[in-house]
Amino acid sequence: MRHCNLTTVVGLGMLLAGFATAGDPPAGGGAAAAEAPRVFTVDDVVRIRDVEDPQLSPDGRWVAYTVTAMDLEKDEAVGRVFMVPAAGGEPVPMTAEERSASQPRFSPDGRYLAYLGEPADGKPQVYTLFREGGDSVAVTEVRQGVRAFEWSPDGARMVLVIQDPGPEDLREKKGCDDDDETPPPWVITRRQFKEDYVGYLDNRRTHLYVLEVASRRLTQVTSGDFDDAEPAWSPDGALIAFSSNRTENPDGNSNTDIWVVAADTPDRGRTLRRLTTNPGPDSSPAFSPDGELVAHVAATDVAASVYAVSHLAVVPAAGGETRMLTAALDRNVFTPRFTPNSRSILFTVEDSGEQALARIAATGGAVERPVGGPRAVRGFSVGRDGRVAAAISEPHLPAEVFLHHDGTLERLTHTNDELLDGVRLGAVEEVSFPSRDGTRVEGFVVKPPGFEPGFRYPTILHLHGGPMAQYDYAFDVDAQLWAANGYVVLLPNPRGSQGYGQAFCTAIWQAWGERDVEDVMAAVDDAVARGYADPDRLGVGGWSYGGMLTNHVLTRTDRFKGAYTGASAALYVVNYGHDQYQLWWEEELGLPWRNRELWEKLSPYNRVEKIVTPTLIVGGEQDWNVPIVNSEQLYMALKRLGRTTELVVYPGEFHVFSTPSYVKDLAQRVLAWFDTHVKGAGAKPAGSS
């Protein structure tokens, strides 16, 4: 139930003009409105492009990366691969817009760039192109598609992550035309039988294959009733490390381990070795350049379940004792990568609203932060000379590619500069305040452009999903959109959030809607005390767990004049066996027929009669993360009680929306709802009661 926030959902929306009430300043704020041409608008939002996955070339001269843009004409998101000179200069597009591209990877000799491309049938294949120019060439023709890949150290092979073929793939292989054929029923035998973006699960598993690039020969090197992922080559190309849950009941626990398998022969149990024995999840393996160690991420507190902090660990590649390098850090770490001399490990770490690039000696010791401060490092790669290419976002900067070396940080790309040049963005302030019991809570306040001290603004309390997530210093499209429309936006990190240690995160264990409600209401009180928020014009909303927390808030206070709850749940027992989180539900709440009292106690649905706030309820038709039945039940209850409410269901959408026109429509509706009910002016959306 890793519920996401609405950052990628409402971000591409339509900014509605007008809706100002008497006493409101202009959207930009008083005389300051004349200082710049305009504020952030919906057209800016639609054109903002996402920069991700920077990869340094072996010779250090180039950085490849992806740029994803919303194409409203095609009504889909399209990714392209670019290269930018590491010395600075204009980016070069490497792929066309006809085929969405992702996961750029240089060949070890630097001559070729490989990537995952999606042809018309939507099944990704691996393509390569000559770095100095030329057309892309497909090097795989896998019926069911390729999920991920990595070059071998000598560049002669690739390891591929491929799911077993399904009946439709086998029919395609035989050349059958089954467009008009009635699909067979799903026959389910697994305990974990649903997954968002997939639907019902069968017994097909994901395994590793080795591709000989020249001959296109494909060899399966892992097998069995297990899913294998995150492959990493050893420096000599003899072994592949990967993560996999190979326990007797993989659907009944989270115990992924790090394994190694020989890369040159199909595995029959002879070459497979397990490196880790931690009963919790181990993931993200990375070999040291000298081949001696494998770094990985490990969550050791099994009892803490999904709230457990993930540490950085190393284990000898030949087998032996695992050492936890960041056990004293009490912060989540991600994506470990060794420095070229094998002496240090780089990784990203969440900490109090920041996401830093950190470094620690491979033998342990103090954690340094080469790239920290008020920014968020979203991804990085390490060059052979030790330089680091990273995707970094800041409060007023959508993610761009930066190069870090010898203590300097140089920006290489300017993807959204032309778009945002001259746009007045809302100021972002980090705040800290006491909750009801004295616990310090942090968060961010985004102010309207031209903010005028002393004027109390309509205010939106925006709650993040997860709940194990954090608002950080990254550019927040939604907050800037609402701020441009004249709102103060509150982005608190209540208990349950990551970035503040495991005790802070587990404070909501079996207590959803208790301490976290107190914390987010303290954020509102703090904004009122600072003179920012109008206590008579408050709105609240969130997506996923942010929507669930919104439901709790609405049952405990009538202070809010308008609310939206997206992809949320209210009667939790409905989800058991219907969503993808059977294991999490059991670990935290117990079996519903044995521990029903707790399930009912935590469900805001059982206090639904206390909700009086006009509430917009939204979700995706095919969401198996938080199924739409939750939104339907909440809507029916509020409708039956005669409350002002509206339900909007988006056809074919999963938990995070991907169709640009729906993303745009959703943002329009949410903003219109706040403008109508929080600002108190403007026509009601069609269909509201």
DSSP letters spanning 509-561: TT-TTSHHHHHHHHHHHHHHHTT-EEEEEEEEEEETHHHHHHHHHHHH----S
Q: Are residues 350 and 491 in the same domain?
A: no
Q: Is 46 helix (H, G, I), strand (E, B) or coil?
A: helix
Domain assignment present for residue 337? The answer is yes
Q: Which of 339, 373, 407 is the last residue of a domain?
A: 373
Q: Are residues 369 and 430 in the same domain?
A: no
- Residues 373 and 382: their CA atoms lie apart, in Å, by 20
Domain assignment present for residue 407? The answer is no
* Cβ proximity of 649 and 621 under 8 Å: yes
- Residues 459 and 678: their CA atoms lie apart, in Å, by 8
Q: Are residues 438 and 298 in the same domain?
A: no
Domain assignment present for residue 501? The answer is yes
Average pLDDT score, the chain? 90
Domain span at residue 467 reads 30-44+424-576+612-677
Find all residues with CB under 8 Å of 689, minimum gap 6, and list them. 639, 642, 643, 644, 645, 646
**What's the mean pLDDT in 497-501?**
97
pLDDT-derived band at 6 (thresholds 50, 70, 90) equals very low
| Structure-token pair, residue 107 | 């060949």
- Residues 267 and 262: their CA atoms lie apart, in Å, by 7
Minimum mean pLDDT range among 177-191, 213-227, 345-359, 635-649: 177-191
Q: What pLDDT sits at residue 10?
A: 35
Q: Are residues 351 and 452 in the same domain?
A: no
Q: Let me know how many helices (H) and strands (E) the chain has, helices first.
A: 11, 40
Find all residues with CB under 8 Å of 64, minimum gap 6, and list them. 54, 55, 57, 81, 82, 83, 94, 104, 105, 106, 113
Residues of the chain above pLDDT 90, percent = 79
Q: What pLDDT, in 10s, does the model give residues 636-645? A: 999 999 999 9
Residue type, 105: R
Domain assignment present for residue 402? The answer is no
Q: What pLDDT, in 10s, does the model give residues 180-196? A: 678 888 888 888 888 88
pLDDT at 44 over 90: no
Find all residues with CB under 8 Å of 453, minimum gap 6, and list them. 531
**Secondary structure of the chain: what % helix, strand, coil (to 5)?**
20, 35, 50
Q: What pLDDT sits at residue 7?
A: 34
Q: Are residues 348 and 252 in the same domain?
A: yes
**What's the mean pLDDT in 80-93?**
96
**What's the mean pLDDT in 522-537?**
98
Q: Are residues 439 and 548 in the same domain?
A: yes
Domain assignment present for residue 133? The answer is no
Q: Are residues 468 and 533 in the same domain?
A: yes
Q: What pLDDT sits at residue 29?
A: 42
Q: Is 355 helix (H, G, I), strand (E, B) or coil?
A: strand
pLDDT at 28 over 70: no
- Residues 125 and 353: their CA atoms lie apart, in Å, by 37
CA dihedral 160, 166, 172, 176 (to 10 degrees): 170
Q: Are residues 223 and 323 in the same domain?
A: yes
**What's the mean pLDDT in 630-654?**
97
pLDDT at 457 over 70: yes
pLDDT-derived band at 401 (thresholds 50, 70, 90) equals very high
**What's the mean pLDDT in 203-216?**
94
What would the 3-class secondary structure string for 439-477 be? CEEEEEEECCCCCCCCCCEEEEEEECCCCCCCCCCCCCH
Q: Are residues 227 and 301 in the same domain?
A: yes
For the chain, the maximum distance between any two Cα atoms, rounded to a whole number of angstroms, is 77
Q: What pLDDT, in 10s, does the model give residues 152-178? A: 999 999 999 999 987 666 555 555 555
Minimum mean pLDDT range among 164-168, 253-257, 305-309, 381-385: 164-168
Domain assignment present for residue 126? The answer is no
pLDDT at 683 over 60: no
pLDDT at 98 over 90: no
Contacts from 345-352 at CB under 8 Å and sequence distance 24+?
Answer: 345/286, 345/295, 345/312, 345/314, 346/370, 346/380, 346/382, 346/388, 347/312, 348/377, 348/379, 348/380, 350/470, 350/472, 350/498, 350/499, 351/499, 352/442, 352/499, 352/500
Cα–Cα separations (whole angstroms), residue 235 to 60, 338, 678: 19, 12, 59
Q: What pLDDT sits at residue 169?
A: 63
Q: What pLDDT, in 10s, does the model give residues 306-337? A: 999 999 999 999 999 999 999 999 999 999 99
* Cβ proximity of 635 and 568 under 8 Å: no
Domain assignment present for residue 218? The answer is yes
Q: Is 299 helix (H, G, I), strand (E, B) or coil?
A: strand
Q: Are residues 352 and 500 in the same domain?
A: no
Q: What pLDDT sits at residue 684?
A: 34
Cα–Cα separations (whole angstroms), residue 153 to 159, 542, 572: 11, 45, 49
Q: What pLDDT sits at residue 18?
A: 29
- Residues 62 and 46: their CA atoms lie apart, in Å, by 29
Q: Which of 338, 373, 408 is the last residue of a domain?
A: 373
Q: What pLDDT sits at residue 199?
A: 85
Q: Are residues 154 and 290 in the same domain?
A: yes
Q: Specify the CATH number for the domain of residue 530.
A: 3.40.50.1820
Q: Are residues 172 and 284 in the same domain?
A: yes
Q: Specify the CATH number for the domain of residue 238.
A: 2.120.10.30
Split into its structural domains, the chain has a count of 2
pLDDT at 198 over 90: no
Residue type, 505: C
Minimum mean pLDDT range among 8-22, 174-188, 265-279, 425-439: 8-22
Q: What pLDDT, in 10s, does the model give residues 552-590? A: 999 999 999 999 999 999 999 999 999 999 999 999 999
Q: Which of 373, 395, 415 is the last residue of a domain?
A: 373
Domain assignment present for residue 274? The answer is yes
* Cβ proximity of 449 and 29 under 8 Å: yes
